[in-house]
């Protein structure tokens, strides 16, 4: 009888664990089409690419730089929305702000970059 109770308990724990795992994945999901459209409309490809350095770092390099850092999204959000001064080949210039309909679109873009 105890084995039956344990088996039922194990199934419940497993179901709860799988459900919460699926919800966590959904919360982290990136809307690829929206992120890529935002990159296109803001002409990000002029200076950035997914895997090759151009004038700016590749998204993969940015993802590697911020991997495991708790403040990654906050730092990238500030960088993309405040037009900081950057240096390209020794010349300082203002980084273009991301023009988006709302903060959620920018945050989706950040998740896209960090997932590369």
Residue 36 or 6, more confident? 36
pTM of the predicted model as reported, rounded to 2 decimal places: 0.75
pLDDT digits (tens, 9 = 90+) for 99-112: 999 999 999 999 99
Which helix (H) or strand (E) segment is 85 a member of?
strand 85-88
Taking only the tens place, the pLDDT of each residue in 65-79 is 999 999 999 999 999
Is residue 76 within 8 Å of residue 70, measured between CB atoms?
A: no
3-class secondary structure, 91 = strand
pLDDT > 90 fraction of the chain, expressed in percent and rounded: 74
Phi, psi (rounded to 5 degrees) for 54: -115, -135
For residues 34 and 108, the answer to whether their CB atoms sit within 8 Å is yes
């Amino acid at each position: 009888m105890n084995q039956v109770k344990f088996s039922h308990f194990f199934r419940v724990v497993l179901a709860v664990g799988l459900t919460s795992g699926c919800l966590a994945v959904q919360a982290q999901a990136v809307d690829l089409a929206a992120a890529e459209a935002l990159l296109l409309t803001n002409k990000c490809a002029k200076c950035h690419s997914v895997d090759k350095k151009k004038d700016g770092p590749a998204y993969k390099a940015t993802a590697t730089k911020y991997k495991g850092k708790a403040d990654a999204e906050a730092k990238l959000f500030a960088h993309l929305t405040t037009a900081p001064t950057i240096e390209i080949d020794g010349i300082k210039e203002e980084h273009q702000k991301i023009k988006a309909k709302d903060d959620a679109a920018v945050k989706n873009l950040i998740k896209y970059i960090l997932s590369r």
